Structure 1
Amino acid sequence: MVVAFESKGIEEEELAARVEALSGAPPMAALREAAAWLREAAEAPEAARREAAIRRLDDAAQSHARTLAREFLTMAPVPEQEELDLWRTNRDFWAQLGAAYYACFGEAERRPLPADALGRIELARLTLRMMRAYAARLKWDQFRYWPPSLAVWQIVGHAYLYADEQGFARREVSAYHGEHPSTVEQEYLRALVFQVSATDALLPFEIEIAERLIAAFLPLFSLSRTRTGASNYWVDPSERRPPARVAEALPENPTLRYLSASSAHEALERLRASLEQGSIPPNLELARYPSPRILTPVVEHLLGHWGPSPPARAHDRHRVQSEAGAVIGLPAIARMLGRPEDAAGAMRWVVENVSQGGLSARLPLSEADILPIGTVIGLRPAGGDNWLAGVVRRFARVSAEAGIAGIETLSRHPLAVEVGAADPLRGALLLDAPDEGETVRLIVPSPAFDPGEELGCILAGARLRLRVLDVLEALGAGELVLASCRVVPGAESE
């Protein structure tokens, strides 16, 4: 049979050549070509030939997509533009793949339901691939904290409702050769659970860990027409909106669905207990992250969002609208603390709400800009004369030119110090007053000092002795350390 798209003039021979070219091309070039050819194939006039061509291009590109995903998550620091190009190539491929399958799905929906079992299986497979592609797009959007597309929620919701009405939402098929079977309902659940897991508070590698944990526990989530005491979230698949926490009053709509995570939450609790014992179950496919210390923060994060109640805020928020000077990173904060006259050169952010524990700020962005979770921030409120030290806990783009950062306040009176076991000392940030016999927190450049290590510390000409008690957290290019403090009597730095 000739797979020809007359409007584009693509014959079977040319399609075969393109598939072969994808197989032998470097991953970055292959994924870019695949996206362009998928766009072209989606516009072909004959539905059956269009779908066959899209599937063949998809199959040929999958190994390249896996390779580039690994490269994005494991690569050494590279120039910002290079990282952006890699992200855009991956994201654009999945977006175009989803759109191409959506064109096929729309055509299939307009036709009578296939009468034969094989035809229904292939319709389920088509829907499965489309929903998998859109879920991957959501993940790649989140890697750079872009806001999720509301149109995507309407597309995948509509596809799920169609599959449910036609009786194949729970039919098990393999999306790709060699994969474990899945269902349209499970793929819809995959996207829903990813959304409710609040991955805007995770680093990219933690987002991947969360995705793998979601995949491992996916059979334990349920989607129901009926609200029960175990219902955590609700969604209306017919609407252009993501899932939300259940509320007392919800709209009456026959398309409403309720998501329960109670069984998955219990299984995740058992996983946390295993991690506390230093054991990682082998069935989780987390070989790239073999340390319980790496996995535990992600598990703790997911427990908070899969539980019966949302994570509670420790402090009330208050709306404000004021400017603040902002600098990013430990060296920049130390420089501002030492040279207050340089504050005029700080970035200008707009603080939108504050609480005792932190604040939310709007910041200008270019397309290439990103503010990673865990970044240490210095802020100087308008009209104030002191700098605060904080850390980015959440970040999301709200447009191509702006983002919103949720910042936890670590100290309202940080001090620039120098610390080390021997000369030369390293610049650090002391977050607490250095009182004799008390514990203090410091942010030090990576790698952190080891627990038990004795450090010298110079502060405004005075010498302190610090004993490292614990490394509390990795913060971007630094680490948060807890230490006991002892003042060295009569000692001054030279």
Structure 2
Amino acid sequence: MPMLDWLEKKPNHPMTSVAEARKLLEELPQDPQKALADLTQWLASVTETPDFRVDVRAQVLGVIDERAQPLERAVRALYLAQPDLRRGHGREHWQSVYDFWSQLASGYGVCRRDYQAGAKGAAAAKDALALIGAREIRALGQRMKLLLMRYQPLEEPLWAALHESYALADSRRHVAQSFKAYPSDPIETSVRTEFAKALMLEMASAESLSAPKIELAFRIIYRFAPLFVLGPEPAAGATFVTDLAAPKPPRPVSVDERPAPTLRFFGMGEATPKLEEMITQNEQGLLVEEHRLGQEFSSGEKITVLKHLLLHWGPNPPHRARTRVQISGELSVVHGYRAVCHHIVNIEASSMGELAENMEVKARQKAGLGLAAEEVQEPPELWMQQDASDLGVGALVPPGAGKWVAVGCLCAIKPAGDSRWWAGVVRRLSADAKSRLGAGIEVLAKKPAAVWLRVLGRHEAKVSDWESASGSFAYEYLHAVMLTDHAKAHDRPVLLLEKNRFVPGQIYEMMVGDKSRHVILKEFLEQGEDYDLGSFEWYQGQVAQPA
């Protein structure tokens, strides 16, 4: 046997052992992106070089993998700080991270297939098979996340690899074996847990979230994955199903679904009350435990994503049911909270009924008082409208335009031939075979109305007084947009505020021209790139005026 080992063909590679791999990785570039690129090249060479024993290849890949983890986190943070793929270094950072996870998944996939084929070293790799499977599935899940951040489709080979990796672990009966996938991981995982993460990400409708919110959703999934249900039989909370024998994405469970050898049922399981509890904690500002999701995310962003996940993972996820009509014509578009307020204030006629019946155009124009000139003077972009429904508009973004566009961006739109500006939010982005960018815009309101909110207790309650007061910017007031024809939230009207300004329970005086009424902010609904969306009530109680 020793003689046979001596005669065994060795791989033509400098990393033929763990010791050699560690020595070669001692010196890497100081720049995280360059260092990650070097490690990705090492992964590729180890993966593609023939004659590696299964166990040795897996061990060497593991050394490179563990060395790369902190670098990947650093480069990913750079991308998330500037996720715009059309400007700056966003595309470069995204590509570096995507290439790493793709090559890592490929490497562990080779180890898995070599093991199944009974290649040399397969028996020695048996004890590491669960770890190899968990790391491969995690790498594939990261690939999924990154593709979703660019709104790219998840192709069949990715689903085939996910299903094949899990099926092998299931056949060896070690899907539930717990261990740390990496020494630095705070909690243990398993092949089943990693598989559930990837499946739940797919069913989260992440394509309607911005890149940072997709990252937040991924962290929430990571946090609660041990509570998800996944198994061969239908179960409470298992609202989805996937077929291990098909390279297809999972789907909702049908009414007459029956178990089959290759079907796996999954869903939120026991995570539902925990997600609801986290929403309550964030609404109350009790964030101590939930800081593990990342302090770079605001309470509003966490609530937005948590509600999104509960909605899309629930028993009745939303789906497009409205008829879309093909339309061709120019669509005027402005973006950003202040620009939206400006165009609604200066162009849109009053739509607030008795609250705004005497509102003068001059007063409405002066309501743009706090906007910087460069923000309100930027001309609208002209997009090409493609289709429309009662609550949405589809448009093609021309080359050179829409460099700002991202899912979650607030905008005002005006269809050709219409004099009114509508309030909307970019909900979906897609790129066709010619790399043309398409945008799906949800129409929040076709008759929005700009108003002022001010904290009670201040003097000079009229807009005209705010206009003339030399210290007007010292007053505590907010520019808001009432969505007068928006679907109500629990029978309450809805409004937009600038990001991080919506505080449930806060009482304001709503100013429209020289008229006012008291309102109390109620339910926080959503936070976008630069806005908060929430409901309010007309307040009838007594309000104490501070001295």
TM class, shorter-chain normalised? Answer: 0.7 to 0.9
- In the alignment, what sits opposite 2:362? none
Q: Contact 2:84–2:406 at 8 Å: present in 1 too?
A: no
- In the alignment, what sits opposite 1:262? 269
- In the alignment, what sits opposite 1:373? 407
Give the stretch that moved more between structures: 239-248 or 420-429: 420-429
The one-letter amino acid of 2:389's match is V
| Offset from partner CA, 1:416-475 (integer Å, 9 cap, x none) | 7899856579997855579xxxx9976566675985566877xxxx66668775496544
Give the stretch that moved more between structures: 406-415 or 218-227: 406-415
Root-mean-square deviation (Å): 4.3
Q: Contact 2:240–2:265 at 8 Å: present in 1 too?
A: yes
| Offset from partner CA, 1:307-352 (integer Å, 9 cap, x none) | 2322477xx4003111351414046657877699x9995121322x
Select 1:122's aligned residue among 120, 128, 135.
128
Select 1:73's aligned residue among 50, 75, 80.
80
- In the alignment, what sits opposite 2:107? 100
The one-letter amino acid of 2:444's match is L
Equivalent pairs: percent with the same residue?
A: 25
Partner SS, residue 21 of structure 1? coil
Q: CA deviation at 1:195?
A: 1.3
Query: 1:388 aligned to 2:422?
Result: yes
Select 1:142's aligned residue among 135, 144, 148.
148
| Offset from partner CA, 1:96-144 (integer Å, 9 cap, x none) | 211122122221221179897x742212111111111111111222233
Partner SS, residue 47 of structure 1? coil
Q: CA–CA distance in 2 between the matches of 1:474 and 1:260?
A: 26
- In the alignment, what sits opposite 1:214? 221
The one-letter amino acid of 1:134's match is L
TM-aligned CA distance change 1:93 to 1:318, over 3 Å: same
Q: Contact 1:232–1:259 at 8 Å: present in 2 too?
A: yes
Give the stretch that moved more between structures: 128-137 or 378-387: 378-387
Q: CA deviation at 1:376?
A: 1.6
Partner SS, residue 425 of structure 2? strand
Query: 1:38 aligned to 2:73?
Result: no
The one-letter amino acid of 1:285's match is R
The one-letter amino acid of 1:477's match is D
Select 1:198's aligned residue among 191, 202, 205.
205
What does 1:170-185 align with in structure 2 at a 5 Å threshold?
170-179=176-185, 180-185=187-192
Partner SS, residue 20 of structure 1? coil
TM-aligned CA distance change 1:440 to 1:158, over 3 Å: closer
> What is the total number of aligned residue pairs between the two structures?
469
Query: 1:320 aligned to 2:373?
Result: no
TM-aligned CA distance change 1:293 to 1:121, over 3 Å: same
Q: Contact 2:213–2:305 at 8 Å: present in 1 too?
A: yes
Q: CA–CA distance in 2 between the matches of 1:449 and 1:253?
A: 49
The one-letter amino acid of 2:114's match is E
Select 1:348's aligned residue among 366, 380, 384.
384
The one-letter amino acid of 1:99's match is S
The one-letter amino acid of 1:227's match is P
Q: Contact 1:280–1:290 at 8 Å: present in 2 too?
A: no
**Any stretches of 5+ residues in structure 2 without a counterpart?**
1-5, 349-377, 454-462, 486-491, 539-547
| Offset from partner CA, 1:235-283 (integer Å, 9 cap, x none) | 1122121111112355985311111323221332333344444434627
Give the stretch that moved more between structures: 276-285 or 142-151: 276-285
Give the stretch that moved more between structures: 299-308 or 331-340: 331-340
Q: Flag the structure with larger Rg.
A: 2
Q: CA–CA distance in 2 between the matches of 1:103 and 1:122?
A: 14
Select 1:476's aligned residue among 529, 536, 545.
529
Q: Contact 1:328–1:375 at 8 Å: present in 2 too?
A: no
TM-aligned CA distance change 1:427 to 1:322, over 3 Å: farther
Partner SS, residue 262 of structure 1? coil
Q: Contact 1:124–1:184 at 8 Å: present in 2 too?
A: yes
Query: 1:51 aligned to 2:58?
Result: yes
